[in-house]
């Protein structure tokens, strides 16, 4: 009998996780299947308990459920600090265990691009769920963070939380030009530039300097306006593809204990993004 995995979210029909994980199962000859399930907030507890009762192998949690899911699972310490889970493991008989693999995904993606973040000045745009995961991971890894958010109070609040593991300051958007000039790495965690609003960007090439690493966690489109601007400024663009692949790969490892076939997962997502 096949083992069932899935992603719970709403909306969830455009998720590329099913294709990515099914390709991985097929590559490793595993008799498993991964499916997207539309689950809203009020049904999440039932959906999780149901999946657990039916012997699911594991689930991912996506928008808008990542924070809500904390209520129903035992969280590992990192996910607890972040305040959000994106991966749930059902193998423990006493409790469902929640993890957050977004930050590790970002760290691996940026390391792949040849960038060492230790002691680097990183300007992070946005203070939402994705930002929280990245900020905790990167502050913990020794980077020096400035978190800038349209709603300044959220950035200040996040920075206060992150200070428990490393260096972080929160601010608004009023002084962005200067902040970019002082940074080694710029990371966009906001939805600005994401399909269908592909012409939007918070920072333009005039504000960038050569050698600046510009990491956009958006992967649809793969080359966002921000990354185009980076290219023409002589900055180093890093797209969101590998963060998505690695967050999935980390989840795959948690559920199955197997080494995920990264290349197969990456090529599957790339093909899906092209079609
Ligand atoms: P996610 O979980 O994907 O990070 P989120 O928690 O809804 O999503 O956070 C979205 C982030 O994108 C927030 O930092 C948001 O800024 P606000 O806190 O001010 O809302 C940011 N964001 C969304 N649209 C934006 C826009 N047009 N300009 C600037 N920031 C934007």
pLDDT confidence of residue 275: 80
Catalytic residue among 66, 120, 154, 266: 66
Q: How confident is the model at residue 79 (pLDDT cuts 50, 70, 90)?
A: very high
Distances in Å between the Cα of 64 and the Cα atoms of 33, 157, 211, 238 are 23, 20, 36, 26
Q: Is the pLDDT of residue 142 over 90?
A: yes
Instruction: Identify the bridge partners of residue 168 per DSSP, sorted by sequence position.
Output: 145
Choose among 63, 64, 71, 67: nearest CA to 45: 71
Q: Which of 63, 130, 190 to mutate to test the pocket of ligand 1 (most atoms within 8 A of CB)?
A: 190
For 97, phi and psi rounded to 5 degrees? -110, 130
Atom of ligand 1 minimally distant from the CA of 150: 19
Choose among 81, 115, 127: nearest CA to 100: 81
Atom of ligand 1 minimally distant from the CA of 64: 2
Q: How confident is the model at residue 107 (pLDDT cuts 50, 70, 90)?
A: very high
Q: Which of 191, 199, 204, 226 to mutate to test the pocket of ligand 1 (most atoms within 8 A of CB)?
A: 191
Provide residues with CB under 6 Å of ligand 1. Answer: 126-131, 149-151, 154, 189-192
**Beta strand 97-99 pairing with 87-89:** antiparallel
pLDDT confidence of residue 97: 98
Residue nearest to atom 30 of ligand 1 (CA): 150
229's CB contacts (< 8 A; 6+ apart) are 201, 203, 204, 205, 208, 214
What are the tokens at 56?
A: 């699911």
Number of C-beta neighbours around residue 71 at 10 A? 10
Rounded mean pLDDT, 12-21: 96
Q: How confident is the model at residue 93 (pLDDT cuts 50, 70, 90)?
A: confident
pLDDT tens, residue by residue, 202-255: 999 999 999 999 999 999 999 999 999 999 999 999 999 999 999 999 999 999
Q: In what helix (H) or strand (E) does residue 248 lie, and over which residues does it extend?
A: helix 241-256
SS3 content of the chain, % helix, strand, coil (to 5): 40, 20, 40
CA–CA dist 98, 239 (Å, integer): 27
Mean pLDDT of the chain, nearest integer:
97
Q: What is the 247 CA–ligand 1 centroid distance (Å)?
A: 20
**What DSSP designation does 219 have?**
-
Can 66 be counted among the known catalytic residues?
Answer: yes
DSSP, residue by residue, 16-49: SHHHHHHHHHHHTT--EEEEEEE--GGGHHHHHH
Distance in angstroms between the alpha carbons of the first and the last residue of the chain: 32
């Amino acid at each position: 009998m096949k083992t069932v995995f899935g992603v719970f979210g709403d909306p969830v029909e455009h998720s590329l996780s099913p294709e990515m994980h099914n390709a991985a199962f097929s590559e490793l000859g595993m008799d498993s299947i991964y499916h997207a399930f539309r689950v809203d907030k009020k049904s999440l507890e039932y959906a999780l308990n149901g999946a657990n009762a039916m012997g699911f192998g594991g689930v991912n949690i996506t928008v808008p459920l990542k924070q809500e899911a904390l209520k129903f699972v035992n969280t590992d310490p990192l996910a607890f600090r972040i305040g959000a889970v994106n991966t749930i493991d059902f193998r423990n008989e006493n409790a469902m265990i929640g993890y957050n693999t977004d930050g590790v995904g970002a760290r691996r993606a940026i390391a792949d691009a040849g960038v060492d973040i230790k002691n680097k000045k990183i300007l992070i745009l946005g203070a939402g769920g994705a930002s929280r995961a990245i900020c905790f991971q990167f502050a913990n890894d020794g980077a020096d963070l400035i978190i800038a958010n349209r709603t300044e109070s959220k950035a200040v609040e996040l920075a206060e939380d992150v200070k428990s593991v490393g260096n972080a300051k929160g601010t608004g958007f009023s002084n962005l030009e200067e902040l970019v000039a002082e940074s080694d790495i710029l990371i966009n965690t906001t939805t600005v530039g994401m399909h269908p609003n592909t012409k939007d960007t918070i920072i333009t090439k005039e504000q960038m300097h050569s050698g600046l690493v510009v990491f956009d966690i958006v992967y649809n489109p793969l080359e966002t306006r921000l990354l185009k601007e980076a290219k023409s400024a002589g900055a180093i663009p890093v797209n969101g593809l590998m963060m998505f692949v690695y967050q999935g790969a980390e989840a795959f490892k948690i559920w199955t204990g197997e080494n995920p076939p990264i290349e197969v997962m990456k090529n599957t997502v790339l093909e899906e993004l092209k079609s």
